[in-house]
Amino acid sequence: MDHGYETDRVDKVAEPDRRAFTYLMLSSVRFLYASSARAIVIKLLGNISPAADVLAMAFSEFELQDMEYGKSLTVTWRGKPMFIRRRTQAEIDVERAVPMDALRDPESDEDRVIKPEFIVVLAICPHLGCVPLADAGNYGGFFCPCHGSHYDTSGRIRQGPAPLNLEVPPYQFIDDYTVQIG
């Protein structure tokens, strides 16, 4: 009978120091793997998340209490010009009375505003990217002098080559007279 197995065998009871060393080494390697994986995940998340200056430009707040009725304010958000107009009740009534079939890009005034008194639009003409003039044009709203597009006080295209209305950015009112764009 062959007894080689019994003679070459390491006696587990006789060598507890070796077993402790093995457990220590396995635990150390597992700890290093876990630490390395954590460091890699933190670096990846750090590279994916936006920079502080980008986050600062994501939202802009504007105080509108001192605006005159019937006038527009030009502000910048994310490096783009924006028009904020405080409309009179007469302007609101005129815009709400416009039939949808008279508009090239049909969109009701109620769908474009949160508060009827204020309209917030991106001040870039959708035709070729020009910046329109506020408080101008045949409809008293905005006028793009580059190609002659006329917008009403709701920012809807009424005359000229522009195919779409002025874009309404995401915005909300924090209180009665403070708007947050973004």
Selected catalytic residue, list 3, 127, 147, 150: 147
Q: Which of 158, 166, 149 is nearest to 95 (CA)?
A: 158
Q: Any alpha helices (H) in 12-165, and if so which ranges?
A: 16-48, 52-58, 89-96, 109-112
Check if 147 is active-site: yes
Note whether 180 and 172 are within 8 A (CB): yes
Note whether 155 and 171 are within 8 A (CB): no
Q: Kindly write down the DSSP assignment for every residue of 25-69, as one continuous string.
A: HHHHHHHHHHHHHHHHHHHHHHHHSPPHHHHHHH-EEEE-TTPPT
Three-state DSSP class for residue 109: helix
Residues catalogued as catalytic: 147
